[in-house]
Amino acid sequence: MAWRQFLVFDLDGTLIDSAPDIADAVNILLGELGKPALPLGDIKTMIGDGAPVLLARSLKASGLSHDAADLMPRFKTIYEAASTNRTVLYPKVREILEAFRQEGRHLSLCTNKPSVATRVVLDHFGLSALFHAVVGGDSLKERKPAKEPLLAAIIQSGGDPANASETAVMVGDSHTDLATAKAGGVPGIIIPSGYGRAADRESQGAYHEIARFADLPALLTELDH
């Protein structure tokens, strides 16, 4: 009998709906550069591969040739100051995470969101104490979909990557999270959110998909047997 003791979660689009605040930060910066705001729906599809990639995509969509790296400090300042204005937890997230902890599961976060902003959001929602480990987009040299952040999250929460295929699972919402799970050799659970590129069975192989976070406990029960 397998037991998924080590649960690794994505953040944006999986635990929280943060697109409105991210879009506001992008559009404030674009306004400073003399460009009109991009639609929320457009920015939502750009999220998931890290803030530098998001910013580069936004600049390109606005017809700007600026180097995203040069603008990252300003973008981080804007976003970190207002990262919880309109961000909300998805339904049942807190209750389910607390229940997982009570069951003895080890929870970790593996996100491409910068670490400072990640901590601000977790503290705001009172979730920080629920996670044994937090790996942000700037915690390592590599970001998702590389396997290193996922494996670091498993190790830091007390797991062994050597048997992660039987003891761990990656829960996310997009192509990036599924690719990360595949690279790290762990099962992937996808809850589609509209963030980033959609997961694709044809190109990435089998994975588990649920419609909402509230369906996660039942699926884990199946995977545990």
Model confidence band, residue 202 (pLDDT cutoffs 50, 70, 90): low
98 or 204, which is more confident? Answer: 98
* Beta strands, E only, the chain: 6-9, 16-17, 88-89, 106-110, 133-135, 168-172, 188-190, 208-209
How are beta strands 6-9 and 106-110 bridged, if at all?
parallel
Section 103-116 average pLDDT: 96
pLDDT tens column, 120-175: 999 999 999 999 999 999 999 999 999 999 999 999 999 999 999 999 999 999 99
Average of per-residue pLDDT across 48-58: 94
For 21-41, the pLDDT digits (tens) are 999 999 999 999 999 999 999
| Residue 191 pLDDT class (50, 70, 90 cuts) | very high
Determine whether 77 is exposed, middle or buried from the number of CB atoms within 10 Å of its CB (0-12, 13-18, 19+). exposed
Catalytic pick among 10, 12, 21, 138: 10
Q: What is the pLDDT of residue 3?
A: 86
Q: What is the pLDDT of residue 180?
A: 95
Average the pLDDT over 12-28 and give the result.
97
Task: List the single range of 100-104, 130-134, 213-217, 220-224 with lowest mean pLDDT.
Answer: 220-224
What's the DSSP call for residue 220? Answer: H
Is 10 a residue of the active site? yes
Higher pLDDT, 202 or 218: 218
**10 and 169 in contact (C-beta within 8 Å)?**
no
Phi, psi of 7 (to 5 degrees): -105, 120
**Count of Cβ atoms closer than 10 Å to residue 129 Cβ:** 10
Q: Whole-model pTM?
A: 0.94
